Amino acid sequence: MPQPHTYFPSWTSCSEPKNYFPPPYVNMALVGATGVGVLVAMIIGGLVFGGIDALLASVCLAAISFCYWWLDIRLICLGGDRSAIGAIYHLEPPVPDYDPSDADKFFSGFDTDYSFNLLLCRFSPRNQFPQSYVAAQNAASTPATSGQLPAALAQLQSDWPTLTGLVPTNVPFSDVADEVELIVAQQGVAGIGLPTRTENAEAPDNVVLSQGSDEHFMVHCEIEGRGMYDLLVLLWSLFALLVVGAAVSWIPGIGWLLALLAALLTLIGLGVGVPALENDQATPPPGGKWGGKFNAYDEAANDKDPVDLAYVFGRWVYDSLHQPGGNELHPIHYMLKVGHAPKGDLKNGVWPKACGLRKRLDAIFVEINSPSTPIIQSRPENQWTIHPLLDGCLGETPYPPPEPPGVIV
């Protein structure tokens, strides 16, 4: 359910690495096979429509298990909420129709999240992780070798000043250590055998240098839509209807009719509900100077076009659905527009002063989420709409009564 004190709602939770398991396809197949067995048995018993209801109920139950995995297991917790400032680089709006060619998104039509890649502050799209680090990170992304990750990151930090052309060598590693940690492989995920890949830039900025890789300094961000959550609710409703239909099919005379009615209502529910769920999509925020759209780097036609700069604050997770997976801010809790910059400046790694706002904004949002904030906001002295001296709201500080009209002091 939506979380309190957040700008964007959340419909998912994340699992600890030790509690993670891959998509439950085997369990789904077993549930479906059970449904087929019940169907055959009920047909033999002369309950054709009851068997159809039982089969459809098993399909619903299999899909329900996948929904729970999607919502509560597939995102792996990396350590609470994190923030970043950067430029909106690439947009990935939700796709309203299922794409059977996309194996990573079996239920892609219900994935109504609005995603974008954020180019992290002080980096250019041309900056690349060195191939030596990517190889070391990949080699350490197994349970047996995950302990080598700290050494790989330490080597990257040691080599940082000499990585000309791969990273902005005029920026000390200490200035971007938080941003780099945000997107590189983490111990808990590597310890369960899942590899981590950072985002890649679009052509022509993705020309790989001789010692570089196609992995860049970007973080994937997602504003959550409620498509999969709504699908779960719909499936549970249809499952209950079908179970009742299968049960009443035993009633002599009208049982078959009630079972047929349950099946027909299920098909109508799917026909009406599925398109509605697929179009319940997340969008860029309409307020906060966004106007419901982003000006992205890779959509800018020329170097003078403005690219939006954003502060984002969200849950730091690893998304196992992608192959290989990567670290994300998912869901985004807050998002503020902190200015814009010409595409040409960002291409060359020239950033405005907005990069320095992150810690200040972090402090503001920590205060917003403090349990004491609603208490302070509810005090009478903070409820006035005209002026404390005019509407009678007095706080702890005493004020003299206002002078009578016409008195000049």
pLDDT at 235 exceeding the cut of 50:
yes
Q: How far is CA 163 from CA 62, 129, 210, 217, in A?
A: 50, 9, 11, 14
**Per-domain boundaries in the chain:** 17-74+228-278, 77-224+282-353
Whole-number average pLDDT of the chain: 87
| Residue labelled with tokens 């047909």 | 43
Average pLDDT over residues 301-311: 95
Give 116's strand partners. Answer: 91, 221
Return d(Cα 25, Cα 245) in angstroms, integer.
26
For the segment 353-374, the average pLDDT, to the nearest whole number, is: 81
Q: Which amino acid is at 295?
A: N
Q: What is the pLDDT of residue 386?
A: 57
Say whether pLDDT at 327 is over 50.
yes
Residue 5 has pLDDT above 60, yes or no: no
Task: Give the three-class secondary structure for 31.
Answer: helix
* pLDDT of residue 326 exceeding 90: yes
pLDDT higher than threshold 80 for residue 269: yes
pLDDT at 254: 93
131 DSSP assignment: H
For residue 129, count CB atoms less than 10 angstroms from its CB and return exposed for 0-12, middle for 13-18, buried for 19 or more. Answer: buried
Instruction: Judge contact between 277 and 63, C-beta under 8 A.
Output: no
pLDDT confidence of residue 389: 54
Check pLDDT > 50 for residue 360.
yes
What is the percentage of the chain residues whose pLDDT exceeds 70? Answer: 89
Query: For 282, left (φ over 0), alpha (ψ -120 to 50), or beta?
Result: beta
How far, in Å, CA of 94 to CA of 87, rounded? 20
Which whole-number Å values give the CA distances from 338 to 114, 251, 309, in the listed order? Answer: 20, 66, 6
**Alpha-carbon separation of residue 8 from 284, 315, 331 (angstroms):** 10, 12, 8
Task: Considering only the C-alpha atoms of the chain, give the largest distance between any 2 of them, rounded to a whole number of Å.
Answer: 100
| The token pair that represents 34 in the structure block | 């059970």
d(CA 28, CA 186): 30
pLDDT of 25 above 70: yes
Of 276, 270, 278, 365, the closest CA to residue 313 belongs to 365
**For 210-219, what is each residue's pLDDT tens digit?**
899 999 999 9
Query: Is the per-residue pLDDT at 28 higher than 50?
Result: yes
Q: What is the pLDDT of residues 102-142, one digit of tens each?
A: 544 556 778 899 999 999 999 999 999 999 999 999 999 88
What is the rounded distance in angstroms from the CA atom of residue 42 to the CA atom of residue 237? 23
Q: Give the per-residue pLDDT at 359.
A: 87
| Nearest alpha-carbon partner for 196 in 252, 241, 153 | 153
Reported as a single tens digit per residue, the pLDDT across 173-194 is 999 999 999 999 999 999 999 9
pLDDT of residue 104: 47
CA contacts within 13 A on the Cβ side of 289 = 11
Length of the chain: 409
